[in-house]
Amino acid sequence: MTRYPDIALEGARVLVTGAGRGIGRATANAFAARGADVALADLDRGAVEHAAAGIGTAHVLDVRSRTAWDACVADVGAIDILVNNAGVMPVGGFLDEPDATGEMTIDVNVWGPIHGMRAVVPGMIGRGRGHVVNVASLAGKIAIPGLAVYNASKFAAVGLSATARLEFADHGVSVSTVLPSAVRTTLTSGIPLGKGLPTVDPEDIADAIVRTVRTRRAETPVPGYLAALDVGLAVAPERLVRWIRRAVGGERALTRVDPTARADYDARLRRDENRGEQTGQPNSTPCARGSSSE
């Protein structure tokens, strides 16, 4: 097993993306509570400035943009721990999803971590230590009808993390993947939770992310017992897997979405999608530092 240089949380510089709400905000709070120097990044200026108040610095960042990443890293400074958490989850049938929505999903969920690691990891390698956490999903291991492109993006994130982990290990830099089950955030608005997978809170994911700094585990599912489910589904016959899904309601969960309850989240996705369309590409938004009150 590779031995990585220790990273003390007290005084460590941590950059968390998607930190304006949900898992990202909970993660920033968890690191700040342990004495870390936390930089919170999000596309939503108002949300990230509110989240950063009293615990760290706020940065407006479109993770789809390599240029924005480079500017943000220059602003934040030497980063000890990078948490690639920003993500989007459109829901609907594969053939019904607009191309632009699928492209945004891949841009945020796949290119976001790619750009982030390429912007941050060279500095970590130069210092001989660092830790990256890519927040994927159990949907990166288990197919879920109604989430085809999201599934694809999270499967990609899992593979990306596994390969980067191998490439960076000899340089003192570890890469861990955290795999949440269904989480009570705006991401799951309007979706009947508790169907097929257990439901957890953002703080549960934040605690798991912080633990990876100590354990440096390659993969951490939340809840932890779902590791056995992943292995079991991989070797079980397809007929048995489909029977289990039907028995727990897993195949119906995303066909019974409440569009009214999900309206605010979908509207935010369209706003984010349009930011790229207005300039002809999704990677034109620069990083800008927001003001955060102490």
**End-to-end Cα, the chain, rounded Å:** 42
Helix (H) or strand (E) run with residue 47 in it: helix 45-52
- Asked whether the beta carbons of 55 and 28 are under 8 A apart, the reply is yes
Under DSSP, the state recorded for 180 is: E
Helix (H) or strand (E) run with residue 32 in it: helix 22-33
Annotation says 150 is catalytic:
yes
Please pick, among 4, 150, 225, 265, the residue that the annotation labels catalytic.
150
Phi-psi region of 289 (alpha: psi -120 to 50; beta: other; left: phi over 0): beta
Under DSSP, the state recorded for 1 is: -
* 231, amino acid identity: V
**265-274 long-range contacts, CB within 8 A, separation 24+:** 265/186, 265/187, 265/189, 265/190, 266/90, 268/44, 268/186, 269/88, 269/90, 269/101, 269/104, 272/43, 272/88, 272/104, 273/100, 273/101, 273/104
Alpha-carbon gap, residue 236 to 158, rounded angstroms: 21
Catalytic (active-site) positions: 150
